[in-house]
Amino acid sequence: MDMRNAVQVKVLLIVSVVVLVFPQLIGAAAFSAKSEAVTLAEWNFDAESPLTTGGTENNIGREMSLTGAAITGYATGNGSGSRAIASNGWNNSEESFWMISLNTAGYESVTLSSRQYGSNTGPRDFKVEYSLDGSIWEEVAHSTITVASNWSSGYLNGAVLPAKANNQEQVFIRWINTSNASVSGGTIGAAGTSRIDDVTVTGLPIGSGENPGIKTIKQARGMIGQEVTVEGIANVDQGRLQSNRFNLYIQDGEAGIQLFHFQPQQFPDVKAGDRIRATGMVSVYSGVTQLEVSEINILAIDQDFTAKNVELPLYQDPALADEYEGQLVTLEGYIRSIGEYFNGGVSIGIINEDFAGVDIRVWESTGIDLTRIEPNTWYEMTGISSKYYSTYQVLPRTNSDFKKLEDQKPPPTTADREYLAEVAAVVDGDTIRLASPVLGATNVRFLNIDTAETYHTVRNDLDQNQMDHGKRAGDHLRTMLKVGDTVVLRLGAEPFDAYGRLLAEVITLDGVNTNWQMVRDGMAVTYFIYPFEEETVQVYSDAVRLAREAQLGIWNSEDPLLEMPFVFRARERGDLLSRYVGNVVTKEYVAPNDYAIIPPEYRVFFTKDQAEGLGYRLLEPADRNTADAEKAVLSTCP
């Protein structure tokens, strides 16, 4: 089968099973179900001739030539039984290149594909250039080629020639060697060989690219379950968000959409700024509207695209946030902390003065260096607006998407801020659910206190004891709070816990601080984690002391709580105690496992550095027996 027939068979297969084969480098409108590309010229060398083996009438008999090196004949090419034109002597000239010329009259969207192979001492680095007169050369964008001793590494697939190459009587194209490096990493040797095979130039008849069936991206987003064709500009390089999948976003003037496929090697290596036409099935996956692509055609390169300025409160309104999905946005906010990559990514919270915020989802594949992002800092941040189920995310592409603001405002704080809210449910002794979100959260974790847990499976007496006291705590809170009650939420300096729950004191309209009341009634213990205010600690400490003296609830000597909730959680999950424990009165602190030395009413929790920064002194028992003896004395007061 000759090369022309092989291409025709491939076109039929692509149209019928909707699969394209496009590895590594930039691609273009090579095939289209509505407007099939025409092969203008091709060279497969199977007949061991440098002349074209197919193409339009104007390009029959065109020759592949070599300058600065020597053609040695023909050798094994790409594929079984295939032949390739071979050469050596690439070390003899400053300018060495393969070259072809062809006629593109009547055609546009001209693209080039080729394969190259090199021996260990053959030339490794090439780029493609074009010329209209054979003397003034311009580089073809995204056409850098790295050759290896295989036919896949040096594969150029559908590189787009600039528009100036359209509709020309004569276009010259060359593959020019750009360095002295050999395939093995040394220097090019005199006997080092270079081969080229499967050279194909295609184009679309002028005017045939018009397609009345193309939908706008906004229209396509509403066509779930239907196959559509859309056009837009890529706002991120393919492979940057997910290296092992075809995963990028395109946008037009009013909307954006994700393009996805499990096999990236089937499609062009799209770059940000490429204008593309994509065909596929519209679906929703993990809350994201996406186009499961079957065909990608690059129409133009280096197109302008811009980010839309948005405010963080936008992400509290799903209807508004969904309008920006897939588009590049720019926003300002405060980044308090930066974690580390885990399972390929990390989420960074960004908030404004009113704690409206969104997750910044950084994928490790972007190469973003997290150490270059400063915590506790205001930033202008650019990224692709997206979501994961109902959680909105912004996806940065590079470190340059994070710009530190010159004018650094004070950090946001929710200390003493109050919000009215309606109780939807009492979950347990220290958690309620709200009818409507406050600062984006519907679950409230009671600030400053901790009650026994009920989430676990009972496996032993300690588990049962924890469960019993946890149920009592929940029942007791339900005597103070009912579904439908309006309450005041008084926030602390940190508005959320690690699970995204709002941290607050919950106060009834009658003025009852239910957090403090739970402690006073012996249903909860204090739980102050840095940062905390000593005056507040003292108010709650008095409540613990009074409850202990009266042996209420968890302090009942006949049925005491046998494990503090934080100790139970560590045991049940197989974790170690991690927080140091301080005495707010004596300003002493102990290691996590020595927590029982500190009386319950005076306990505060922090890291070692935080303790020392607050002026606390490490309490070191004379020996372990002393510590154990002190724990024994306090055994009835865990």
**Are the CB atoms for 302 and 283 separated by under 8 Å?**
no
Which residue has better confidence, 403 or 163? 403
Catalytic residue among 83, 221, 240, 445: 445
* Residues 158, 249 within the same domain: no
**Quick one: which of 550, 547, 531, 442 has its CA closest to 493?**
531
Q: What is the pLDDT of residues 138-191, one digit of tens each?
A: 999 889 999 999 999 999 988 889 989 999 999 999 999 999 999 999 999 999
Res. 533: pLDDT tops 80:
yes
Res. 27: pLDDT tops 90:
no
Q: How many CA atoms lie within 13 A of 176 on its CB side?
A: 15
* Residues 173, 290 within the same domain: no
Which residue has better confidence, 161 or 437? 161
Res. 1: pLDDT tops 50:
no
Mean pLDDT of 34-47: 86
* Residues 21, 133 within the same domain: yes
In the block, tokens 């290691």 appear at 591
* Residues 196, 58 within the same domain: yes
Residue 210's pLDDT band (cuts 50, 70, 90): low
* Residues 286, 139 within the same domain: no
Which residue has better confidence, 512 or 625? 512
- Does 625 fall in a domain? no
Does the active-site annotation cover 549?
no
Confidence (pLDDT) at 194? 98
3-state SS assignment for residue 611: helix
Confidence (pLDDT) at 61? 96
Confidence (pLDDT) at 208? 67
Which residue has better confidence, 319 or 540? 540
Percent of the chain residues topping a pLDDT of 90: 78
Confidence (pLDDT) at 211? 62
* Torsion of the alpha carbons at 543, 547, 550 and 552, rounded to the nearest 10: 150
Catalytic residue among 42, 295, 325, 453: 453
Q: What is the rounded CA–CA span in Å between residue 59 and residue 293?
A: 34
- Does 615 fall in a domain? no
Confidence (pLDDT) at 12? 32
Does the active-site annotation cover 501?
yes
3-state SS assignment for residue 52: coil
Catalytic residue among 174, 501, 520, 579: 501
Number of domains in the chain: 4
Mean pLDDT of 426-437: 94
* Domain final residue, candidates 575, 597, 627: 575
Which residue has better confidence, 332 or 17? 332
**Are the CB atoms for 44 and 2 separated by under 8 Å?**
yes
- Does 597 fall in a domain? no
Please provide the average confidence, as pLDDT, over all residues in the chain. 89
**Are the CB atoms for 280 and 259 separated by under 8 Å?**
yes
- Does 49 fall in a domain? yes
CATH number at residue 290: 2.40.50.140
Res. 277: pLDDT tops 50:
yes
Mean pLDDT of 609-637: 65
- The CA distances from residue 101 to 51, 162, 172, 206, 615, in Å, are 11, 15, 4, 20, 80
Res. 228: pLDDT tops 90:
yes
* Residues 363, 446 within the same domain: no
- Does 458 fall in a domain? yes
Res. 14: pLDDT tops 60:
no
* Torsion of the alpha carbons at 580, 581, 587 and 588, rounded to the nearest 10: -80
Confidence (pLDDT) at 3? 36
Residue 297's pLDDT band (cuts 50, 70, 90): confident
* Residues 78, 108 within the same domain: yes
Lowest mean pLDDT among 60-69, 120-129, 413-422: 413-422
Burial of 424 (0-12, 13-18, 19+ CB in 10 A): middle
**Are the CB atoms for 628 and 576 separated by under 8 Å?**
no
Res. 518: pLDDT tops 70:
yes
- Does 411 fall in a domain? no
- Does 596 fall in a domain? no
Percent of the chain residues topping a pLDDT of 70: 91
* Residues 48, 189 within the same domain: yes
Confidence (pLDDT) at 209? 56
For residue 98, the enclosing domain spans 3-205
* Domain final residue, candidates 381, 404, 427: 404
Classify strands 97-102 and 256-261 as parallel, antiparallel or unpaired.
unpaired
Mean pLDDT of 240-246: 93
**Are the CB atoms for 420 and 434 separated by under 8 Å?**
no
- Give pTM, 2 decimals: 0.60
Q: What is the pLDDT of residues 441-456, one digit of tens each?
A: 899 999 999 999 999 9
DSSP E strand boundaries for 464-524: 486-496, 502-508
* Domain final residue, candidates 300, 317, 349: 300
* Residues 180, 241 within the same domain: no
Q: What is the rounded CA–CA span in Å between residue 72 and residue 69?
A: 10
CATH number at residue 194: 2.60.120.260
* Residues 556, 428 within the same domain: yes
* Residues 389, 458 within the same domain: no
- Does 554 fall in a domain? yes
Confidence (pLDDT) at 500? 80
Does the active-site annotation cover 445?
yes
* Residues 382, 430 within the same domain: no
